[in-house]
């Protein structure tokens, strides 16, 4: 059904389009390319290999993943703006106009990460001088625009650390900020492409290991409903969700089920949940 490559042989994902019965799969933002899907698979494989060096994505698992992606995203190609795009685009025009070193436009996912990083308050280093935090933010944005790997971001911050004598371990900080940026960008794009009045659910997936805190472990598998505004209480009555979440990064009303994740040491993400699928 699908022509899937052995991702372990690629450092750069190949070009081309995922097809189904000879037809291109069309997602919310255009045709789904082999490059985009392969990059997603490589990211997942890297994530799990970091925890188990022997882990490898099987061809059967990849095909199952593509099959679910097909069911969730396939739709007729549309040239005009649809009602699902009534929400204002959350990515600024100057970021959408960014290009990489070869002059190629950045992917929507990368644009989103840059937007979140630029808007971030960097709470983990809020005690740093403002000029230093700005330089660190510029490093993130520049490296993301150039499509450089995470180690390059850490390296550049390490050089800055030596120059400013901050004496801190930036490894965890870079992992934390990039993971949060990816999670928030994903949520915002799901909101942006949703239909007016549509209930938008997310399900929590936590990395469960020895260092994951008890609170985060309990959060794993929780289904929540998105709220555009902060609520007085995030405990709700709903057919599928017991809680609501909202963007609590910059609000006084903090959700008990957080928009990002519970603590600095744990990892997790919200994935769009479709009750009828």
Residue 244 DSSP symbol: E
Cα separation, 63 vs 70, in Å, equals 10
Structure confidence at residue 225 as a pLDDT band (50, 70, 90): very high
SS3 content of the chain, % helix, strand, coil (to 5): 40, 10, 45
The mean per-residue pLDDT over the stretch 99-114 comes to 93
Sheet of strand 201-206: strand arrangement: 243-245, 223-226, 201-206, 268-273
Q: Of 35-44, 60-69, 99-108, which gets the smallest average pLDDT?
A: 60-69
In this prediction, residue 218 carries a pLDDT of: 86
Helix axes 150-164, 170-192, angle to 10 degrees: 130
For residue 226, give the nearest of 268, 182, 273 by alpha carbon: 273
Cα separation, 255 vs 259, in Å, equals 7
Higher pLDDT, 248 or 262: 248
Both tokens assigned to 108: 């929507």
Cα separation, 219 vs 263, in Å, equals 12
139-143, 160-164, 171-175, 210-214: which has the highest mean pLDDT? 139-143
Neighbours of 262 (CB within 10 A): 20
Domain locations along the chain: 7-80, 93-182, 199-273
Higher pLDDT, 148 or 45: 148
Does 81 have pLDDT greater than 50?
no
**Mean pLDDT for the chain overall:** 80
Instruction: Please say whether the beta carbons of 19 and 25 come within 8 A.
Output: yes
pTM for this model (two decimals) = 0.67
Backbone angles phi, psi at 185, to 5 degrees: -60, -40
The mean per-residue pLDDT over the stretch 160-178 comes to 76
């Amino acid at each position: 059904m699908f022509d899937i490559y052995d991702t372990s042989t690629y450092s750069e994902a190949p070009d081309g389009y995922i097809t189904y019965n000879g037809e291109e799969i069309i997602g919310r933002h255009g045709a789904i390319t082999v490059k985009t899907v392969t990059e997603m698979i490589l990211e997942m494989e890297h994530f799990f290999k970091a925890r188990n060096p022997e882990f490898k994505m099987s061809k059967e698992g990849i095909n199952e993943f593509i099959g679910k992606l097909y069911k969730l995203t396939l739709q007729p190609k549309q040239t005009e703006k649809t009602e699902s795009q009534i929400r204002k685009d959350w990515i600024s025009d100057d970021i959408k106009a960014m290009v990489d070193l070869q002059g190629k436009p950045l992917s929507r996912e990368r644009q989103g990460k840059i937007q979140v990083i630029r808007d971030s308050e960097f709470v983990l280093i809020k005690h740093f001088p403002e000029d230093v935090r700005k330089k660190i933010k510029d490093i993130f944005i520049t490296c993301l625009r150039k499509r450089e790997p995470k180690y390059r971001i850490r390296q550049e911050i390490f050089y800055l650390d030596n120059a400013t004598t901050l004496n801190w371990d930036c490894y965890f900080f870079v992992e934390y900020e990039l993971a949060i940026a990816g999670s928030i960008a994903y949520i915002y794009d799901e909101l942006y492409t949703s239909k007016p009045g549509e209930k938008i659910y997310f399900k929590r997936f936590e990395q469960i290991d020895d260092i994951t805190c008890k609170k985060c472990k309990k959060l794993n598998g929780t289904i929540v409903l998105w709220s555009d505004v902060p609520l007085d209480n995030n405990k709700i009555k709903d057919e599928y969700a017991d809680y609501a979440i909202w963007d609590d990064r910059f609000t006084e009303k903090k959700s008990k089920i957080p928009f990002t994740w519970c603590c600095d040491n744990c990892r997790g993400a919200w994935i769009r949940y479709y009750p009828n699928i």
